[in-house]
Chains A and B, each alone.
Chain A
Amino acid sequence: MHVADVADRVARGELTAEAACARSLEAIAAKDGALHAFLHVARDEALAAARAVDDRRRRGEPLGPLAGVPVAIKDAICTEGLPTTAASKILRGYVPPYDATAVARLRAADAIVVGKTNLDEFAMGSSTENSAYGVTRNPWDPSRTPGGSSGGSAVAVAAGMAPCALGSDTGGSIRQPASLTGTVGLKPTYGRVSRYGLIAFASSLDQIGPFASDVRGAARVLSVLAGRDPRDATSLDAAVPDLEAACGREVRGLRVGVPDEYFAEGLAPEVGESVRAALRALEERGCVLRPVRLPHTSYAVATYYVLATAEASSNLARYDGVRYGLRVDPRLDLRAMIGATRDAGFGAEVKRRILLGTFVLSSGYYDAYYLKAQKVRTLLRRDFDDVFREVDVVCSPVSPTPAFKFGEKLADPIAMYLSDVYTLPASLAGLPAMSVPCAPTRAGLPVGLHVVARPLEEATMLSVAAACEAAFPCASPL
């Protein structure tokens, strides 16, 4: 059942929230031993919250738009009273004293938090292999990764363990795993959704967004999440239109930009075929395809890895073994305690990024790397400014390949970084972007269509995604 089906049936009294929640918990019990999407299942809390929703319905009180909808939360997002680790040893056992605003809004809309999902440590990775607590398997082929970093949330939805989930996307961490697992994954405009309570990776890029089993579900969750939050100075004070209505809107006449640079070397032929078939389906529904140029695309990976690691090196300075989390204290002085704690608590990829980020910010290298990358970020934004004068959305592949095997890219950091080549530019430009399933490969692996829109134009993006979904209806694999 999709998000809207659950909520609307609960609202009408045809389904209890408790039954919807129990169904989700049973699916987790049956499937998650093999898939490992969850780091923590909040069984008792979820059932109690579901019963409270049912009680309120019996008393005739109005219910929220996500009444009784089970939701899985990426473990980089704080949940009051539930462990939140960012899949890092340095936060093992940490239990936040507050909810992230996104979680508080879900609860206020009567959604039921069923558990916390696996990720690459601190969201640094593209395969969920960098978790300190084990890998997550792709339900379409368990020898393959689900992508990342929000791999656990993607798999929770793909395997039918929850109809929706929260992820976070810094360079593609919602869209790439959505593409690799056949789910809908949406990164809102930077600032659309509050980051309060999201464990920070790169603050100028991080954005919370939904996964869902259908486009309308993603739209409904986003309408709950979106809006200004005084606790996040970067959240935008902008009206949120009716996003669910946008999912049923005609796409006739919309201009779809197709960037040459996203169909170049490195794109797996089967992915290219699926995406071209999706573009033809949009054309059949009245969209006008236009070739466009985004000439700085090939610089996005380098730009991103300078800026994101610089911001990460600063954000992760807070893990010092003093206020929360791990402390390794061999009776040394303060500096040695902090160094030993961080050495023991962070995994290899996190250390690599902290060091790269510290390096590009350090005296003598700041201008050549950090300032340079900030300027190239401006060029990447201008590419989109130019293109969006001609078209309404930009469509492309999400990921150059379908789901890859465990270990395939771990040995080569740059090969792993390049798997985000199509998602990074929209992140650097702060644009809304999403993945919607199109035709799978011949081997049956999912492929996503990437739809990018102008700032705050999630509605247009959702209309196009819904049109693609109608052309390629896709079923849950398990």
Chain B
Amino acid sequence: MAGPTIDRSLVLHVARLASLSLDEGEADRLAGELATIVEYVAQLGALDTRDVPPTAHVFLDRMPLRADEPRPGLTREQALAQAPSVEGEGFAVPAFVERK
């Protein structure tokens, strides 16, 4: 397969998708490393897989679903106990709704 060019701008685009803030030095270094890895994995393109179904999971056929019944989970206190910031009965986060 014709490989894409892995440069700083592609790395920064992917980092945005992955919610990672990278500084430019880090982005340059990772661009070089990822280019090497992507070039290595491109060898898969040599295999003819036209009639081959994908494997997402090995034993999907023998995994029974359990009954969909409510049962007790963590208490609110347990769920909030590890949070970096709590307000009232919930997790506190910085503002994400734009103000008028």
Using a CB–CB distance below 8 Å, which chain A residues touch chain B?
A: 94-95, 97-98, 190-191, 204, 230, 233-238, 296, 299, 301-303, 305-306, 313, 317, 320-327, 329, 331-340, 342-343, 346, 351-352, 354-356, 358-360, 362, 365, 368-369, 371-379, 381, 413-414, 428-430, 455
Residues of chain B lying within 8 A (CB to CB) of residue A340: 21
Q: Is the CB of A323 within 8 A of B66?
A: no
Given A236-B62, A327-B85, does the pair A368, B1 have CB atoms closer than 8 Å? yes
Residue numbers in A under 8 Å from B74 (CB-CB): 97-98
Chain B residues in 8 Å Cβ range of A351: 20, 22, 26, 30
Given A356-B34, A379-B49, is A323 in contact with B20 using a C-beta cutoff of 8 Å? no
The contact of A368 among B11, B45, B81, B91, by CB within 8 Å, is B45
A162 and B100 CA atoms in complex are apart in Å by 61
The residue of chain B having its C-beta at the shortest distance from the C-beta of A351 within the complex is: B20
Q: Which of A296, A324, A332 has the most CB of B within 10 A?
A: A324
- Chain B interface, DSSP helix/strand/loop, else mixed: loop
Closest to A228 in B: B64
Given contacts A325-B84, A358-B17, 9 further A-B contacts (CB under 8 A): A97-B82, A302-B44, A305-B37, A336-B94, A337-B94, A356-B37, A358-B14, A368-B45, A374-B56
Closest 6 CB pairs of A and B: A430-B58, A374-B54, A339-B21, A327-B84, A324-B82, A334-B96
Q: Say what secondary structure dominates the interface of chain A.
A: helix
Number of interface residues of B (CB under 8 A): 52
A-B pairs with beta carbons under 8 Å apart, 29 shown? A234-B63, A238-B62, A301-B40, A302-B41, A302-B44, A305-B37, A306-B41, A317-B18, A324-B84, A325-B84, A329-B85, A337-B93, A337-B94, A342-B19, A351-B20, A352-B30, A352-B37, A358-B14, A359-B10, A362-B14, A368-B1, A372-B44, A373-B44, A374-B56, A375-B49, A375-B52, A375-B53, A375-B55, A414-B36
Residues of A within 8 A of B53 (CB): 375, 378
Q: Which of B22, B34, B49, B91 has the most CB of A within 10 A?
A: B49
Q: How far is the CA of A324 from the CA of B19 in the complex (A)?
A: 17
For residues 29 through 72 of chain B, which have their beta carbon under 8 Å from a beta carbon of chain A? Answer: 30, 33-34, 36-38, 40-41, 43-45, 47, 49, 52-59, 62-66
Given contacts A324-B82, A335-B96, A337-B94, are A234 and B57 in contact (CB under 8 A)?
yes
On whether the beta carbons of A322 and B83 are closer than 8 Å, the reply is: yes
By the criterion CB–CB under 8 Å, are A352 and B55 in contact?
no
Name the CB-closest residue of A to B56: A374
CB-based contact B1/A320 at 8 Å: no
Determine the residue in chain B with the shortest Cβ distance to A346: B20
A343 engages B37 (CB within 8 Å): no
* Chain B residue at minimal CB-CB distance from A355: B14
B98 closest partner in A (C-beta): A333
Asked if A413 and B33 sit within 8 Å, CB to CB, the answer is: yes
| Given known contacts A413-B33, A413-B36, A355 and B56 CB-to-CB distance under 8 angstroms | no
Contact B37 A354 (CB under 8 A): no
Residue of B10, B54, B59 touching A191 (CB-CB under 8 A): B59
Q: Roughly how many angstroms separate A355 CA and B13 CA in the complex, as a whole number?
A: 10
A229 to chain B minimum Cβ distance, whole angstroms, is 10
Q: Tell which of A98, A355, A378 touches B54, judged by Cβ atoms closer than 8 Å.
A: A378
Is B4 among interface residues, defined by CB-CB distance under 8 A?
yes
Among B10, B22, B43, the residue within 8 A (CB) of A343 is B22
B84 to chain A, nearest CB (A): 4
User: Please, which residue of chain B has its CB at the minimum distance from the CB of A324?
Assistant: B82
* Of A352, A354, A365, A371, the contact of B33 (CB 8 Å cutoff): A352
Once the chains bind, are A331 and B94 in contact (CB under 8 Å)? Answer: yes
Which residues of chain A are within 8 angstroms of B65 by Cβ–Cβ distance? 233
Could you say which of B57, B58, B64, B95 contacts A334, with CB atoms under 8 Å apart? B95
In the bound complex, residues from chain B placing their C-beta under 8 Å from that of A235 are 63
With contact pairs A94-B82, A339-B21, A371-B54 given, residues A414 and B40 touching in the complex (Cβ less than 8 Å): yes
Q: How far is the CA of A371 from the CA of B52 in the complex (A)?
A: 11
Beyond A302-B41, A335-B19, A355-B15, whether A233 also contacts B54 by CB under 8 A is no
Q: Given that A299-B44, A337-B94 are known contacts, is A379 also in contact with B52, CB under 8 Å in the complex?
A: yes
Select B96's contact among A317, A333, A342, A372, beta carbons within 8 Å.
A333
A122 to B: closest C-beta gap in Å: 14
Q: Which residue from chain A places its CB closest to the CB of B66 in the assembled complex? A: A230
Identify the closest chain A residue to B82 (Cβ): A324
Q: How far is the CA of A354 from the CA of B37 in the complex (A)?
A: 13
Contact in complex: A339, B82 (CB < 8 Å): no
A94 to B91, CA, bound (A): 16
Which of B20, B56, B85 touches A204 (beta carbons < 8 Å)? B56
Contact of B41 with A97 in the complex, beta carbons under 8 Å: no
With A299-B43, A334-B94, A373-B44 in contact, is A204–B21 under 8 Å at CB? no
CA–CA, A331 and B85, complex, Å: 13
**Hey, which chain A residues are within 8 Å of B56, CB to CB?**
204, 374
Q: Give Cα A9 to B23, complex, Å.
A: 58
Give the shortest distance, in Å, between B25 (CB) and chain A (any CB): 12
Chain B contacts of A377 at CB under 8 A? 54-55
Cross-chain contact B49 with A376 (CB below 8 angstroms)? yes
- Name B75's closest neighbour in chain A (CB-CB): A97
Contacts of A305 in B (CB 8 A): 37, 40-41
Residues of B with C-beta under 8 A to A190: 58-59
